Amino acid sequence: MVLQTLPAAVVVIGLILYTLLAGADFGAGLWQLSAGGGERGRRIRDHAHHANAPVWEANHVWLILVITVLWTAYPTVFGAVFSTLAIPIFLAALGIILRGMSYALQNAANARQRRYIDVSFAAASIMTPYMLGSVIGAIASGHVPPGNAQGAEVASWTNATSIVAGFLAVCTGAFLAAVFLAADAERVRDRGLVESFRWRALLSGAVAGALALGALFVVRSDERMLFDGLTSGWGLVPVVVSGVAGLVAMGLVFVRRFTAARLAAALAVAAVIIGWAVAQRPYLLPTTVTIEDAAASDTTLIALIVSLAVGAVVLFPSLVLLFRLTLAGRFDPTTQGPPPVPGAPPTRERRKHAAQTSIGFLISGFVLLTIAEPELAHIFGLIFLGIAMIAGFRAVGPIELGARPTPEVAGRSLRSLLRRPR
């Protein structure tokens, strides 16, 4: 049972991190759209972009992790969700493309072009979290039956619970973004920006809180089972935690303690997701498929959990490094470059015998891979060919080759070449 539940826990953790990090990115996109024109608006947009840039890619990979774990551990659930909810998921995917594209473009665009890019950026920033939120809503409210596209194609994600969940996803993202960006603005000591994002945080926090409360009422009339899960037993704990943390976060923002507010806001949002997960347990697709029904075979689960654990050992220190560098302001604008590297005299690349080595390994690799039959010979053949490539690269010595003066290439058009007497 623990074995079957662990991947689900990983999925929930992945979703929480995706909501906190990528959700905040999406929220920043929303603030970019609503920043208005002029110098002030431009600074808000710049700040939102700059704060996100180094961590942007990493934040969005959480979704891939969630998806891959889901289809490895609970393949049938994955198939059911992705076929019934194909439309909102496709729209979310479109938003992801648009956002990634505009992100890549922003690095190269000038101010006028960036205005247009920002619009598509922000549109995608609303669409993607809304659609993903409505997917969660559809699953939670039991609109996804098992099987290939057995649920309603449209009605499954346009019911009240889905819609509320979609809006909630957008608003929490905006709230998180405003709190995070206010903290970032404080770090770069920009008072004007701090105030702008402080007000945005208070406003969006109030809206998100109201929506979360409203969602409870919607769920009560729409999906009684989910409501009972949220308001009794263990389900009640995260709901209360979320409410309290949300209020604390607002209070901290109000008194300008942004670093602490960041944590409280994150906790408030995380608790919403935990609440949903606890409320619908043990079901993955409420009232039809439980975790145990859907879980893959034990060997697969063990292999998955082992690789997740190994991956986490590598991943988390790296993530900590990235966020420490970012939050400590190591990527903040500076005009000061790095210390120069002590100049060594340009050495000749040691290329003696590289050519002979390369040709020797090429020939023996050819014999072993192409002519010899046994599997083992092929392995060595490949290794030899690999060595031949590296030695060949060395023998050519591209750095030295580029440094040598070479006659101009151009100026000899096709015509002049034909005219030249050979």
Partner 1 sequence: MTEMLAQDYLLEARQMQALSFVVHIPLVCFGIAFPALVLFVEWRYLRTGDELYRTLARRWSKVLVALFAAGVVTGTILSFELGLLWPNFTATFGEVFGLGFAIEGFSFFLEAIFIGIYVYGWDRLSPRAHFLSGLPIAVAGVVGSFMVIAVNGWMNHPQHFTFENGQVVQANAAKALFANSFFWHEFVHMYIAGFIVTGFVVAAAYAVYALRGRWGRYERTAFAVPMTVAAVAAPIQLLVGDWAAREVAKEQPVKLAAMEGLGQTTKGAALHLFGWYQNGDVIWGLGIPKLLSLLAFHDINSTVQGLDTVPLEDQPPVNVVRYSFQSMVYAGSIMALVAVLFLYLRWRKGRLPASPWFYRAVVLCGPLSVIALLSGWITTEVGRQPWVVYGFMRTEEAVTGASGIPVGYGVLAAVYLGLVIAVVWVLVRLARVPLAEPPEDDVDTVHPLTHAE
292 within 8 A of 1, measured Cβ to Cβ: yes
Query: Can you give 76-118 as a three-state secondary structure string?
Result: HHHHHHHHHCHHHHHHHHHHHHHHHHHHHHHCCCCHHHHHHHH
Return the structure tokens found at 380: 């060595």
Q: Which is nearer to partner 1, 86 or 155 (CB)?
A: 86
Q: How far apart are CA 78 and CA 20, in angstroms?
A: 23
Cβ-proximal residues to 150 (8 Å cutoff; 6+ apart), any chain: 80, 83, 84
Q: Which is nearer to partner 1, 70 or 267 (CB)?
A: 70
The values of phi and psi at residue 309, to 5°, are: -65, -45
Task: Give 285's strand partners.
Answer: 289
Q: How far apart are CA 345 and CA 329, in angstroms?
A: 35
Least distance (Å) between residue 347 CB and partner 1: 7
Q: Which is nearer to partner 1, 93 or 216 (CB)?
A: 93
Half-sphere exposure of 186 (CA within 13 A, CB side): 18
Least distance (Å) between residue 50 CB and partner 1: 6
Q: Which is nearer to partner 1, 1 or 336 (CB)?
A: 336
* Tokens 């949220």 belong to residue: 230
Residue type, position 128, single letter: T
Q: Which is nearer to partner 1, 286 or 381 (CB)?
A: 381
**Angle CA(272)–CA(276)–CA(279) in degrees, nearest 5?**
130
Least distance (Å) between residue 260 CB and partner 1: 25
Least distance (Å) between residue 343 CB and partner 1: 3
Maximum Cα–Cα distance across the chain: 94
Q: Which is nearer to partner 1, 50 or 281 (CB)?
A: 50
Least distance (Å) between residue 176 CB and partner 1: 19
Buried b (16+ CB within 10 A) or exposed e, 85-103: bebbbebbeebbebbeebb
Least distance (Å) between residue 139 CB and partner 1: 13
Least distance (Å) between residue 276 CB and partner 1: 20
Q: Which is nearer to partner 1, 1 or 409 (CB)?
A: 409
Q: How far apart are CA 383 and CA 377, in angstroms?
A: 10
Q: Which is nearer to partner 1, 411 or 421 (CB)?
A: 411
Q: Which is nearer to partner 1, 107 or 255 (CB)?
A: 107
In this structure, the number of other CB atoms found within 10 A of the CB of residue 48 comes to 30
Burial (CB count <10 Å: 0-12, 13-18, 19+), residue 172: buried
Least distance (Å) between residue 160 CB and partner 1: 23
Least distance (Å) between residue 383 CB and partner 1: 11
Q: Is the peptide bond before 282 cis (omega within 30 degrees of 0)?
A: yes
In this structure, the number of other CB atoms found within 10 A of the CB of residue 240 comes to 11
Return the structure tokens found at 102: 């505009």
Least distance (Å) between residue 329 CB and partner 1: 9
Q: Which is nearer to partner 1, 80 or 252 (CB)?
A: 80
What single DSSP character describes residue 329?
Answer: T
Q: Which is nearer to partner 1, 105 or 216 (CB)?
A: 105
Least distance (Å) between residue 418 CB and partner 1: 12
